Chain A
């Protein structure tokens, strides 16, 4: 697959407003819509335009469909804390009617948004004037029935449900269940199961908070529902373990059904072994047979039937292993990278530093490093593979480890569910790349 540039969204200037930093990216089930959330609490939804009939060999573009303020900054008066409005995750619901639904969450509150189109307007009301004022009753001499007239398309977003006050700690994941009725939300210590219709209560299904907080050594970092089995979900921890739970087994799933952990390689042990083993993202494959986890230096693919080790391990930026001390100092070691599958589960993608992102083909075992930058942003320009030189002589076009910009990190990426179209969030810019169609 040859990847080429398609579009970039977002401001160009070097001065990045903190509120514009993209914090989550997600395609919907059909790939028609692409949602992004940012630190300012806003959600921007892009829609895929139909390919133009004149040039069918080009994929259509994504254009802004709707923008709305999902979360506002809040103040917790009880704890004297400000609750950030940053959108941590967006998850789409499967489409059931003309409207689209998505869940968006910040640290504490989850909201269900309905995005609907309005392209008709009723005109000719009996009792009202066109501007809405009530007509003088004496002037009404005959009955008239309103008629629907076309109007400019208007996309409205309205909050339909607000799921609040269920999380003491910061929400890191939400995941819609395959039954399309429930979803789970996970914070550092607990996972709750919600019904989409019920906002005033949720079931707590996992609680790893110890009786004495001083004994706390592990937190939940990500959670996801199984794509087909509505009773199964997984959650990952800061110690590099994944637990698969079956909700049929017990009401409280503190005891896992499966426990996935790779034994540590003693030769690579360092002071930072635990920190780099912390899993930042977990994603089931579309097939439901595998799951993928991202820790600081690698991506691992696990077979759900084998708990003692992953079936595949891909090194994302192994050249950073010798730099862990510096990365610990500047806090980069705590960055949480996400990962994603392609539609057919044959390839996986994740981000790195210097606006690099990596893709691994599971079949051919080939990998590629690409860069999201304005320089390589000519329309339909093929992206040039990048390489980081690990030592010794630096070849031409290679970049040395010390020249990497650790402020330019790609934490959020998304892959279209069907086509080879990817969305890559680089700080405040959203890049859309697609494969070259001949």
Chain B
């Protein structure tokens, strides 16, 4: 009775285990969590998601997250709440508000074009506030102060259902995914993780931000010096959006050129000049050129101190992994106000993983 394309990570015992301390319960919880998440996202992609179904799935997600926080017999670093410090909670909240602020702008742009989205609740606020208060799940105080209200809610009969973008869903999902990461990855890898930064909690894009970015991407122009901040912002959002784009059909509307239009090519140009490669004028090489230029990734190349590969690494680091939601790969996508830091510590392992992900991404982009 498995749905098509749904891989089971853990074969769920059909008998529900009520004992929270047993590993079976935990595996069941994780299984239900991942199924719920994919159901929710798939449901949101439909042109008109069923409200009842979305509400029930969202409530289930919320409950599962809650139970994770509440689980008393956590021995390893399972629950995100147990490992979260107040700092993380604060970071999450600040990332949350930053992200929602960013998304609000994009949400305004797309309201008219993607009406049927996100009228559904998210586990975000409750989850965040619960984790931030560190296992004080009794009170559901909502983190609504940081959340800008959805646009166009006043004109309800016209499009009330349609004009509620679920921008906070992205933050929620990312934080939930982070939790999933920590549980699924297990202890050995958890030890190797870089300390959680607010970067990790950056949102997954909703369709809204995708469309908003589309508009942003198309309309962007000007030298990179003046608009560097914006550029990085656009770029990263675009990168995130690619993730969603893979799953939706939006990618068909974009060309490879569009996707690469906003790459910070300042460094690239310099390096390309060094290597004898000429861009096609205007400082923005065509997407194909860039693709051609990308060096093949191998473990050996990870240790090279080639300036281009390092900067490209960082530019493309923003891309989340497709195969697994590995914390390392999703870690470095910046929120709009953070600038890319060339000196961030990366182990060789990261490069390898990113290399593989990068290849994978390139394949997908090229195919599309």
Which A residues have a C-beta under 8 Å from some C-beta of B?
78-82, 168-170, 188-189, 209, 211-219, 221, 238, 267, 269-272, 274-275, 278, 322-332, 334, 406
Q: How large is the interface on B (under 10, 10 to 19, 20 to 34, 35 or more residues)?
A: 35 or more
Query: A80, A213, A269: which has the most chain B beta carbons within 10 Å?
Result: A213
- Is B71 part of the binding interface, using a Cβ–Cβ cutoff of 8 Å? no
Which residues of chain B from 98 to 127 have any CB-CB distance to chain A below 8 Å in the complex? 115-116, 118-122, 124-125
Given contacts A188-B52, A212-B144, A214-B125, contact A270 B2 (CB under 8 A): no
CA distance A206 to B58 in the complex (A): 23
In the complex, which residue of chain A has the Cβ closest to the Cβ of B156?
A: A168
Residues of A within 8 A of B119 (CB): 213
16 residue pairs from A and B, CB less than 8 Å apart: A213-B150, A214-B122, A238-B56, A267-B18, A270-B16, A272-B60, A274-B59, A322-B15, A323-B14, A325-B12, A325-B14, A325-B28, A325-B32, A329-B1, A329-B6, A331-B3
Residues of A within 8 A of B301 (CB): none
- Is B306 part of the binding interface, using a Cβ–Cβ cutoff of 8 Å? no
Q: Which residue of B31, B124, B156, B157 contacts A325 across the interface (Cβ within 8 Å)?
A: B31
What 3 pairs between A and B have smallest CB-CB spacing?
A: A216-B121, A79-B115, A213-B164
| A219 x B115 contact (CB < 8 A) | no
Count, A-B residue pairs, CB within 8 A:
127
In the complex, which residue of chain A has the Cβ closest to the Cβ of B118?
A: A213
| A326 x B120 contact (CB < 8 A) | no
Residues of A within 8 A of B147 (CB): 212, 214
Query: B18, B31, B48, B168: which has the most chain A beta carbons within 10 Å?
Result: B48
| B60 x A168 contact (CB < 8 A) | no
Given contacts A80-B115, A269-B18, contact A330 B3 (CB under 8 A): yes
Given A81-B48, A267-B18, A271-B60, 20 other A-B residues pairs in contact with their CB atoms under 8 A: A78-B115, A168-B160, A188-B51, A212-B150, A213-B164, A214-B124, A214-B144, A214-B164, A216-B121, A217-B59, A238-B52, A271-B29, A274-B56, A274-B60, A322-B15, A325-B16, A325-B31, A327-B1, A329-B2, A329-B35
Which residues of chain B from 1 to 53 have any CB-CB distance to chain A below 8 Å in the complex? 1-3, 6, 12, 14-16, 18, 28-29, 31-32, 35, 39, 47-48, 50-53
| B60 x A215 contact (CB < 8 A) | no
CA distance A323 to B12 in the complex (A): 10
Q: How far is the CB of B156 from chain A (nearest CB, A)?
A: 7
Given contacts A189-B51, A214-B124, A329-B6, contact A324 B56 (CB under 8 A): no
Residues of A within 8 A of B150 (CB): 212-213
| A80 x B52 contact (CB < 8 A) | no
Residues of B within 8 A of A170 (CB): 50-51
Q: Which residue of A209, A272, A278 contacts B160 across the interface (Cβ within 8 Å)?
A: A209
CA distance A326 to B14 in the complex (A): 8
| B149 x A278 contact (CB < 8 A) | no
| A219 x B59 contact (CB < 8 A) | no
| A278 x B56 contact (CB < 8 A) | yes
Residues of B within 8 A of A82 (CB): 47
| B168 x A328 contact (CB < 8 A) | no
| A213 x B120 contact (CB < 8 A) | yes
| B18 x A78 contact (CB < 8 A) | no
Residues of A within 8 A of B144 (CB): 212, 214-215
Residues of A within 8 A of B166 (CB): 214
- Is B64 part of the binding interface, using a Cβ–Cβ cutoff of 8 Å? yes
